[in-house]
Amino acid sequence: MDPDELRARVAGRIRELAARRKLPLNQLVERSGVSRSLFYAVLSGERAATTDTLARLATALRVDPHQLIRPTPGSGSQRSGTSK
**pLDDT tens, residue by residue, 33-72:** 999 999 999 999 999 999 999 999 999 999 999 999 988 7
Entry pTM = 0.83
DSSP output for the chain? --HHHHHHHHHHHHHHHHHHTT--HHHHHHHHT--HHHHHHHHHTSSPPPHHHHHHHHHHHTS-GGGGTSPPTTSS----S---
**Domain architecture of the chain: domains with CATH:** 3-68 (1.10.260.40)
- Comparing 20-29, 56-65, 69-78, the range with the smallest average pLDDT is 69-78
pLDDT at 25 over 60: yes
